[in-house]
Chains A and B, each alone.
Chain A
């Protein structure tokens, strides 16, 4: 039971809005101490676990590329392209990205997208530009549109990738069931990811359509 104190630290720390990096570090230390390790061993455990997960930081290698492209005006270019398209609305831009992201994910191409590579330099500026045609955006609306762009990237890939038979989660399920003496093939598992993929598409794109209606009403109110 005592080892759960780390979870308590996380919940309390996030609820009280302490710095998340500090909260997570403290949670690791508290959990290690609660499990009966001495303080120096716990710091070493933390160091080893952090070093073991360095692969996560490899994705940041794209930062200089995206930074340079922003310097070259990629966000301004993305805006120009959308302003030339008649009928492009925030919701429709995001629906188009949803379709692209989910379809490529079902083919296992999950690297075609991402918040740093696609959403910040291209998708968010497009979604904002489509709304700005009706007049300047206040900070709150701009943040809301950007948050929606990030959400589309997540939802489309989460509920697309499981339809692909060689993705990590499908292999994890297959491996886990095999350990427990149940033999199944990946296509059978992936088949049962299709209904949720379709529902995710329908539910979220209705919400994007509602977002467009709210944005239009905002314009009319002005």
Chain B
């Protein structure tokens, strides 16, 4: 079976190329900061399965220190606006094809790859089909873009580096937050938070239980950055024993609206970095929290609506 290691090596080689592009940038006196940062990340991607965890942890610490003192990337190697406008006028709508090929190949791969079997054994691990498809989609997109622009992989590495430099440390933040989630789970943080909530709030009325459950889902998600982490804890702590057990609520309505209340929390927190901090970085916004600020009114209104709907429907079948 083709597992994830092949894809991790591909991604690692790409970050290695970014690191190389920085190391060769003689015009930037601080080039080693970016080169070492992306080099460490590339090594973790390529060799993470075989390196001792202590060594990987050491690389992570080096990255955190470099991000704190500032990566200070050098000037990008790219074209100016006039060149791009000429190119846009020439290539026209063909420019959208490689971009559309990525999701198209991902979707087709997700549907077809599970059918590819030799003697009944799937070639691709079924659990990893989406990631494998995404990687294939990116490769197909790269091939199409290289042909369209009549250029080489060195240019692709420089252009990719330009985008990763626009994000800087924000590009690895989602992975670091997921790692923090793993450590929280080992330390049992979720259970402690749920106990705190259930022990200190009186919940003798069905309406109060509903309000505590939906806002608890949102707040817990804001803290953990992930509604999936909040759902089991809040539902085992408040949802099932009180809303379903004590007050006879309908578990399906409670769970569906509870999860969606958690999503409202996702819109409000820097801890959900890949949805809120990464886009602010990739769009080069000056305020790191600009996306959260735009989302906040919708998130609060939807949380209110979810709470009202649960209060109205969960106890009546």
Question: Which residues does A use to contact B, with CB under 8 Å?
Answer: 1, 3-4, 6-7, 10, 14, 18-22, 24-28, 31-32, 34-35, 40, 43-77, 80-81, 109, 111-113, 115-122, 124, 139, 143-144, 146-151, 153-155, 158-159, 162, 168-169, 172-173, 176-177, 180, 182, 184, 188-193, 195-196, 199-200, 203-204, 207
Contact = CB atoms under 8 A, between A and B. Distances in A.
B102 A57 contact: no
B79 to A, nearest CB: 6
Contact of A50 (B7, B44, B267): B44
9 contacts: A35-B188, A49-B182, A58-B4, A66-B163, A76-B84, A109-B107, A115-B278, A193-B260, A203-B302
Nearest to A79: B88
B176 A50 contact: yes
A147 B235 contact: no
A24 B68 contact: no
Given A115-B283, A172-B259, 16 more contacts: A18-B68, A19-B68, A20-B169, A21-B176, A28-B176, A44-B57, A46-B183, A67-B158, A71-B87, A80-B88, A111-B130, A120-B283, A147-B280, A169-B259, A190-B256, A196-B309
Given A150-B279, A168-B228, A76 B45 contact: no
B134 interface: yes
Given A63-B14, A117-B99, A54 B44 contact: yes
A31 B164 contact: no
A19 B98 CA distance: 35
B91 interface: yes
Contact of B192 (A3, A75, A109, A117): A3
A154 B275 contact: yes
Interface string B34-78: 000000010011001101111111111101110110000000001
Given A146-B283, A162-B259, A169-B228, A151 B291 contact: yes
B83 to A, nearest CB: 8
Contact of B298 (A7, A51, A155): A155
A181 to B, nearest CB: 10
B156 A112 contact: no
A42 B278 CA distance: 27
A45 B53 contact: yes
Contact of A54 (B8, B107, B186, B280): B8
Contact of A56 (B10, B253, B274): B274
B60 A47 contact: yes
A14 B164 CA distance: 23
Contacts of A120: 282-283
Q: 10 closest pairs, A vs B, by CB?
A: A73-B88, A67-B159, A47-B57, A47-B56, A64-B160, A49-B179, A192-B256, A49-B182, A43-B57, A51-B48
A200 B138 contact: no
A71 B79 contact: yes
A25 B64 contact: yes
A20 B169 CA distance: 9
**Candidate in B53, B146, B236, B251 with the most chain A CB atoms within 10 angstroms:** B53
A163 to B, nearest CB: 10
B99 A173 contact: no
Contacts of A176: 231-232, 235, 255
Nearest to B187: A35
Contacts of A121: 99
B107 A112 contact: yes
A46 B57 contact: yes
B273 interface: yes
B280 to A, nearest CB: 7
